[in-house]
Amino acid sequence: MLRFFTIGRTIAIFLGLLFLVGAAGLTLFLVDQKRTTLHDQAVEGAVWLSQSGIQQQLAIQFGDQKVMQEFLQRFLNRPLIASAAIFTAQGKLIESRDRSGETGGSVAAFSRVRGISNVQDIVEQTLPDELTGKPFLNLSIPVFSYANPMLYGADKDVFVRELAQARNQGAQHVLGYYQLGIDLSSLENELLEYTWRVGLTCLGFSLLACIILVLITRKISAPLSNLAQLASDISAGRLDRSFKARGTGEVYKIGAMLNMVLAELNSYKTRMDVDNNLLSMKVEERTAQLSKRNDELNKAVAQVTRTKNRLRQLAYYDSLTSLPNRQLFSEQLQLLLNIAKRDNIKIALLFLDLDNFKRINDSLGHNAGDALLREVAARLSGCIRESDLISQYFDNESRIDISRLGGDEFTVVLHKLEEKGIAGVVAERLLDALQTPMIIEGHEIVITPSIGIAVAPDDADSVEGLLKMADTAMYHAKTTGKNGYRFYSSAMRGTGVGRLKLEAELRKAIDQQDMVLHYQPQVDARTGEILGAEALVRWNHAEHGIIYPDRFIPLAEEMGLIVQLGAWTLLEACRHSIQMRDLGLKLPKVSVNVSSLQFNAAFIEMVEQVLKETGMEPQYLELELTEGVIMSNARSSTEALLQLKNLGVSLSVDDFGTGYSSLSYLSRFPLDELKIDRSFVIDYNKSTNGAKLVSAIIAMGKSLNLCTVAEGVDHNDQFRFLSAQGIDVIQGYLFSKPKPRDEFMLLLKSNPYPQQIKEILSQQD
């Protein structure tokens, strides 16, 4: 038995057994190769079909079911493929078909097949069929397109052109997926038949090739093992190993070639890693630059927006009051007039001008004037209700309900005017809003407006025309007492032109000294002696004759000519007084009225200069100031009056009783005389209180050691009443109207008043 099992036999048996095992192994190998071949043929064929032109790309992109069914049938015509389906790139089933030709066959879930695989990979998953339970190999193949379906999928022609143009470009985009079901049971049946044929063939050759196979196995088993491991490492992505073989056989050459491939792959992988790092760094750098540029751009946009808003504010809004200016007012009012004309509605324009505003600037300075304008703007805005506005047609940035046209001129626009009276109600509110005194730089000031109202389209249908009519109405409001409003009427037509002509003539008259002085005597109520005269300016107009001051003095104040006119009046009065005394005429004093716009620091210097220039002795000059002038700033007025008093002139309070004097301040002023306003003299006998008031003023003047003068005395009974109350001086038509200088000089010579007073008093007896 032992001899039977010799080394050779043992080797033979071993080799026989080994060959049998080898034959069996070869059979299994060939079967496996067959299986692999069948699998690869199915997969490669499917892949080839999935990449067979742009027709299927168009069908998937635009949902052509007929074409897709044809493609699915082509897959089913191949062996082993039992079902086929098409999915979108997002995994939504488009069409499915099985070998029976029926659509909607059983298809494995897309998410189970694809899993988390890369969208571009071909994925294989063995899953049981949901209906039969048989194992199926599910093959998922992506369908690529050289054109981006998200950019060119809307238009088929554009998509086709883009596919044709992009054929040679590298970028590809996934359009969808083919999912094929390979019946593994059919594959196994085909392999079983093949296994029998191969097994028998291998068994027949096994004995003949035993030794050869043993030798070959000995020579190639080890290198083949290394090659297998190397292949496994390569497939797993491990590229850090190399193939080690000795000799010069084919295996060695294959190993050397594989080592070269590994070296190239390692080098390529290294370069890719470096390139990826560089690319990441560049992306981060570019992202930082773009972020910085974006921040800079945002800042620039914000700056441009601020500049735009600032330019709009400067172009359309008043810098002092922040109200719309003339530019915005004109543009928006024109739009409003167009709307009013289209809708057949009316709008009203209220034109406001502050009375005696120049006096504030001249007496308190422009800073106080600016503060006053701001306060006026706030009050006017506060008393306009939403129902009066035009905001339903313009946004808040363009509203022109209250606008400042310039200087002390303001406008108010009322929209959808139902009747004229509504504009009057608003005007009353505006007047009331300014009645309350304002505290400006410590001074209590009351400013009044004159308001002109024009209605479109009744009075005018253009911006220029409406402004002109409202301005004309405002001028009439000023000439009729100020602090009121007037509606424009056809009777006012032409007054605007007349006013312009009058302004031009007044300026010329002052420059050419076409003014003259008239004098009204001031008579001692007891003796009839002429104690002085009030110098009253008249305009000797070449066409209209003598024009009285109530017509041109307010105009001169508005035009800024009152200072020049007042200086001329003072100079002429002083010259005339000296001339009368040089002729031997007795005139104890001459009184000159001082406008509120004159009374400032420069006025004191001007009085001193006139006295020096004319040689007038100060005691012969009396200056008459109204209560409003003195009380506008009591502290500064006290200082100014003291300076005038130091010059030696006399000071008189004109129109006493019509203002708002405080007796405590009045007692501190260095005054010499109180002139009772003519309105009290005229109304003394109309009520008991009127007479008592006149008596109280006279008694107060005497208690302050002031000379009391009653002006406007025209009748004997007025004189007798005032004389009985102890009045000191009488001035009025009872004795004389204001007379030119020559006539007044004759009056000084004759002086008929002592005899006239005796006759008046005798008539009383």
138-148: average pLDDT: 78
Q: Which two tokens stand for residue 431?
A: 């007047």
Same domain, 474 and 530: no
Lowest mean pLDDT: which of 213-227, 417-431, 670-684?
A: 213-227
Q: What is the mean pLDDT of residues 175-199?
A: 77
Does a structural domain hold residue 699? no
Asked if 191 and 63 sit in the same domain, the reply is yes
Is residue 63 located within the same domain as residue 179? yes
- What tokens does 192 get? 């079983």
Helices and strands, counts by H and E, the chain: 26, 22
State residue 591's pLDDT score: 94
Is 5 within a domain? no
Between residues 256 and 210, the one the model is more confident about:
256
Question: Are the beta carbons of 695 and 685 closer than 8 angstroms?
Answer: no
- Helix, strand or coil, per DSSP, at residue 515: strand
Distance CA 273, CA 271 (A): 5
Angle of helix 741-750 relative to helix 562-582, nearest 10 degrees, comes to 40
* pLDDT number for residue 309: 66
Answer for the pair 714, 735: CB distance below 8 angstroms, yes or no: no
- Judgement on whether residues 339 and 377 belong to the same structural domain of the protein: yes
pTM of the model: 0.45
CATH code for the domain in which residue 570 is found = 3.20.20.450
pLDDT exceeds cutoff 50 at 398: no
pLDDT tens digits along 541-588: 877 788 888 778 877 877 778 888 888 999 999 999 999 999 999 899
Residue 460 sits in the same domain as residue 515: no
For residue 191, is it within any domain?
yes
Q: Has residue 315 got a pLDDT over 90?
A: no
Asked if pLDDT for residue 396 goes beyond 50, the answer is no
Give the mean pLDDT of 457-468. Answer: 87
Which of 493, 527, 560 finishes a domain? 493
**Residue 145: its H or E element:** strand 135-145
Best-predicted range by mean pLDDT among 7-16, 128-137, 304-313, 728-737?
Answer: 728-737
Average pLDDT for the chain: 79
**Lowest mean pLDDT across 32-36, 161-165, 575-579, 619-623:** 161-165
Answer yes or no: is pLDDT of 400 > 60: no
Judged by DSSP in three states, 462 sits in coil
722 within some domain:
no
Question: CATH number for the domain including 56?
Answer: 3.30.450.20
Q: If you average pLDDT over each of 19-28, 255-264, 372-381, which comes out highest?
A: 372-381
**Residue that wins the pLDDT comparison between 251 and 193:** 193
Q: Are residues 419 and 557 in the same domain?
A: no
Closest CA to 87 of 115, 109, 117: 109
The number of folded domains in the chain is 3
Residues 558 and 441 in one domain: no
Tell me the pLDDT band of 350, cut-offs 50, 70 and 90.
very high
Q: Residue range 707-713: average pLDDT?
A: 91
64 located within any domain: yes
Range of lowest pLDDT (145-154, 516-525, 640-649): 145-154
Distance CA 175, CA 60 (A): 7
Banded pLDDT at 385 (limits 50, 70, 90): low
Mean pLDDT lowest among 61-65, 365-369, 526-530, 694-698: 61-65
What is the β-pairing status of strands 485-487 and 449-456?
A: parallel
**468, 539: one domain:** no
State mean pLDDT over 435-461. 86
Q: Which of 175, 137, 140 is nearest to 54 (CA)?
A: 175
The model's confidence at residue 393, banded by pLDDT at 50, 70 and 90, is: very low
Looking at the fold, whether 440 and 335 belong to one and the same domain comes out as yes
Average pLDDT over residues 616-642: 81
What mean pLDDT do residues 337-352 have? 88
In the listed set 493, 518, 539, which residue is the last one of a domain according to the structure? Answer: 493
Q: Is 154:104 a contact under the CB 8 Å cutoff? A: no
> Is residue 521 domain-resident?
yes
- Answer whether residue 673 is part of any domain: no
Q: State the CB neighbour count (10 A cutoff) for residue 718.
A: 21
What is the CATH number for 445? 3.30.70.270
Mean pLDDT lowest for which of 100-114, 210-224, 299-313?
210-224
pLDDT digits (tens, 9 = 90+) for 222-277: 565 666 666 677 666 666 666 665 555 666 677 677 777 777 777 777 888 888 88
Q: What are phi and psi for residue 599, nearest 5 degrees?
A: -75, 90
Task: For the chain, give the percent of residues with pLDDT over 70.
Answer: 80
Could you tell me whether strands 409-414 and 402-406 are parallel, antiparallel, or unpaired per DSSP bridges?
antiparallel
Residue 15 predicted with pLDDT over 70: no
- Kindly indicate the confidence band of residue 388, based on its pLDDT and cuts at 50, 70 and 90: very low
Q: What is the pLDDT of residues 648-670, one digit of tens each?
A: 999 998 877 665 555 656 677 88
Would the pLDDT of 127 be above 90? no
More reliable by pLDDT, 227 or 284: 284
Q: How sure is the predictor about 395, in pLDDT bands with cuts at 50, 70 and 90?
A: very low
- CB distance 685 to 720 below 8 Å: no
Under DSSP, is residue 37 helix (H, G, I), strand (E, B) or coil? helix
Q: Which residue has the higher pLDDT, 700 or 560?
A: 700
The fraction of the chain above a pLDDT of 90, given in percent, is: 16
> pLDDT band at residue 529, thresholds of 50, 70 and 90?
very high
Query: Do 464 and 363 fall within a single domain?
Result: yes
Average pLDDT over residues 57-66: 74
Amino acid at 508: K
Q: What pLDDT is attached to residue 132? A: 62
**Can you give the residue range of the structural domain that contains 410?**
317-493
With a cut of 90, say whether residue 38 has pLDDT above it: no
Same-domain check for residues 422 and 448: yes
H-helix or E-strand spanning residue 349: strand 347-354
> Which pLDDT belongs to residue 738?
93
What value does the mean pLDDT take over residues 676-699? 81
**What is the reported pLDDT for 592?**
94
Domain ends where: 137, 162, 197? 197
The reply to whether 500 falls in a domain is: no
Least confident piece of the model among 118-132, 287-301, 340-354, 688-702: 118-132
pLDDT score, position 2: 44
- Is 474 found in the same domain as 356? yes
Q: Report CA-CA distances (Å) from 79 to 17, 33, 108, 359, 586.
A: 38, 17, 19, 113, 149
Q: Which residue has the higher pLDDT, 763 or 218?
A: 763
